[in-house]
Amino acid sequence: MQPWKSFRPDGVILFRSAERRGAGTRGAARARPPPRPPPSSLCSDILTPLPAIGLEFEIDDAKGPVLAHTVRDAAAVAALHALDLTALPFIGESLTALRAEVGPSGAAVLGFVGSPWTLATYAVEGGSSSTYTTIKRMALSAPDVLAALLDKLATAIADYAVHQAHSGAHAIQLFDSWGGQLPPAMWDVWSGPYIRRIVDAVHERAPGVPVTVYANGSGGLLERLGATGADVVGLDWTVDMADARARLGPGQAVQGNVDPVTLFAGDAAVDAAVAAVLAKAGPRGHILNLGHGVLVGTPEGAVARMFDVSKNARAAV
Amino acid sequence: MQPWKSFRPDGVILFRSAERRGAGTRGAARARPPPRPPPSSLCSDILTPLPAIGLEFEIDDAKGPVLAHTVRDAAAVAALHALDLTALPFIGESLTALRAEVGPSGAAVLGFVGSPWTLATYAVEGGSSSTYTTIKRMALSAPDVLAALLDKLATAIADYAVHQAHSGAHAIQLFDSWGGQLPPAMWDVWSGPYIRRIVDAVHERAPGVPVTVYANGSGGLLERLGATGADVVGLDWTVDMADARARLGPGQAVQGNVDPVTLFAGDAAVDAAVAAVLAKAGPRGHILNLGHGVLVGTPEGAVARMFDVSKNARAAV
- The secondary structure of chain B, three-state, reads CHHHHHHCCCEEECCCCCCCCCHHHCCCCCCCCCCCCCCCCCHHHHCCCHHHHCCCEEEECCCEEEECCCCCCHHHHHCCCCCCHHHCHHHHHHHHHHHHHHHHHCCEEEEEEECHHHHHHHHHHCECCCCCHHHHHHHHHCHHHHHHHHHHHHHHHHHHHHHHHHCCCCEEEEECCCHHHCCHHHHHHHCHHHHHHHHHHHHHHCCCCCEEEECCCHHHCHHHHHCCCCCEEECCCCCCHHHHHHHHCCCCEEEEEECHHHHHCCHHHHHHHHHHHHHHHCCCCEEEEECCCCCCCCCHHHHHHHHHHHHHHHHHC
What pLDDT is recorded for position B315? 61
Residue B267 banded pLDDT, cuts 50, 70, 90: very high
Per-residue pLDDT, averaged over B274-283, amounts to 96
Q: What percent of chain B has pLDDT over 90?
A: 84
Please tell me the total count of domains within chain B: 2
- Would you call B276 an interface residue with chain A, using a CB distance cutoff of 8 Å? yes
More confident position, A185 or B64? A185
Question: Is B247 a domain residue?
Answer: no
pLDDT at position B14 is 83
B185 touches chain A (CB under 8 A): yes
Interface of A with B in 99-128 (CB under 8 A): 128
Q: Do B269 and A141 touch (CB under 8 A)?
A: yes
Block means of pLDDT (10 residues each) for chain A, length 317 residues? 92 68 35 36 74 95 92 98 96 94 92 97 96 97 97 98 97 97 98 98 98 98 98 98 97 98 97 97 96 95 96 73
Subunit contact B37:A130, Cβ cutoff 8 A: yes
Q: Do B240 and A183 touch (CB under 8 A)?
A: yes
B242 found inside a domain: no
Which of A170-184, B103-117, B303-317 bottoms out in mean pLDDT, i.e. has the lowest?
Answer: B303-317
Same domain, A120 and A196: yes
Q: Which amino acid is at A151?
A: D
Chain A from 42 to 81: CB within 8 A of any B CB: none
pLDDT of res. A307: 96
Residues B265 and B223 in one domain: no
pLDDT 10s digits, B22-50: 333 333 333 333 333 333 344 458 999 99
Q: What is the pLDDT of residue B18?
A: 46
Same domain, B23 and B67: yes
CATH code, domain with B27: 3.20.20.210
Calculate what percentage of chain B has a pLDDT beyond 70: 90
A249: in domain: no
pTM across the whole model: 0.91
Of B234, B268, B298, the position where a domain reaches its end is B234
Q: What integer is the mean pLDDT of B273-278?
A: 97
ipTM above 0.95, yes or no: no
Q: Output the pLDDT for position A22.
A: 36
A134 located within any domain: yes
Same domain, A21 and A165: yes
From the list B129, B184, B261, the residue facing A131 with the nearest CB is B261
Are A7 and A136 members of one domain? yes
Please indicate whether, in this complex, the C-beta atoms of B141 and A36 are within 8 angstroms of each other. no
Residue B31 pLDDT = 36
Q: Is residue B246 part of a domain?
A: no
pLDDT at B16: 63
Q: Please answer yes or no on whether A36 and B35 come within 8 Å at the CB atom.
A: yes
**Residue A245 placed within a domain:** no
pLDDT of res. A1: 86
| The last residue of a domain, from among B234, B269, B300 | B234
Regarding whether A201 and A275 lie in a shared domain, the answer is no
Same domain membership, residue B272 and residue B190 = no
Nearest CA in chain A to B218: A219
Same domain, B193 and B282: no
- Same domain (yes/no): A35, A88: yes
Kindly state whether residues B207 and B112 are assigned to the same domain: yes
User: Chain B residue closest to A223 (CA)?
Assistant: B243
Is B131 close to A219, i.e. CB distance below 8 A? no
A21 plus A155 within the same structural domain = yes
Residues A170 and A305 in one domain: no
Does residue B244 fall inside a structural domain? no
Give me the domain span that covers residue A298: 254-317
Please list every residue in chain B whose beta carbon sits closer than 8 Å to the beta carbon of residue A262. 136, 140
Nearest to A264 among B137, B262, B291 (CB): B137
With contacts defined as CB-CB under 8 Å, which chain B residues touch A185?
Answer: 240, 276
CA distance A104 to chain B (A): 37
Choosing from A202, A234, A266, the residue where a domain stops is: A234
* Cβ–Cβ gap A36/B37 under 8 Å: yes
Q: Is residue A239 part of a domain?
A: no
- B181 → closest Cβ in A37, A223, A257: A37
